[in-house]
């Protein structure tokens, strides 16, 4: 989780200081989606430097999310997320190399599905996770 917190602090220092682990993951996922959207816009406008920077940041966030996975408690879900986050890093790199917005859309759509499920975690489970952290 420390790596994930570090990734988020690079972007936003205030909210993360008071956030529980569940909220930190939400913030990271949101920031990931924002970077992918900015990368897509930069790609469309042929702003190579900005595209590279946003894709780099999205890859760093995916790596932070991946490093924060708890395989003991998360079991099969953590393993699946690990594979997806790795896939994100590969596809983002390919999207950058090939200037392919469809690859960015694919990664965005997958992350939206993950984030939607994460956002729907019951408050009771969020509280239990916060107390266990």
Structure tokens at 37: 């959207």
CATH number at residue 61: 1.20.120.340
> How much is the pLDDT for 57?
97
Counted domains in the chain: 1
Q: What is the mean pLDDT of the chain?
A: 87
Give this prediction's pTM. 0.83
> How much is the pLDDT for 133?
47
> How much is the pLDDT for 18?
67
Q: What range does the domain containing 32 cover?
A: 2-132
Whether residue 118 contacts residue 25, with contact meaning beta carbons closer than 8 Å, is answered with yes
* pLDDT tens readout for residues 69-119: 999 988 999 999 999 999 999 999 999 999 999 999 999 999 999 999 999
Between CA 22 and CA 9 the distance in angstroms is 15
């Amino acid at each position: 989780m420390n790596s994930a917190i570090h990734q988020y602090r690079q972007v936003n220092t205030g909210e993360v200081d008071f956030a529980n682990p569940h909220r930190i993951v939400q913030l990271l996922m949101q920031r990931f989606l924002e970077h992918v959207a900015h990368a897509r816009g930069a790609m469309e406008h042929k702003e190579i430097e900005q595209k590279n920077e946003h894709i780099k940041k999205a890859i760093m966030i995916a790596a932070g999310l991946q490093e924060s996975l708890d395989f003991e408690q998360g079991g099969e879900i953590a393993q699946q997320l690990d594979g997806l986050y790795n896939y994100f890093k590969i596809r983002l790199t390919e999207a950058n190399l090939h200037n392919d917005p469809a690859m960015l859309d694919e990664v965005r759509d997958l992350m939206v599905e993950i984030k939607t499920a994460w956002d729907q975690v019951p408050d009771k489970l969020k509280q239990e996770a916060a107390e266990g952290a």
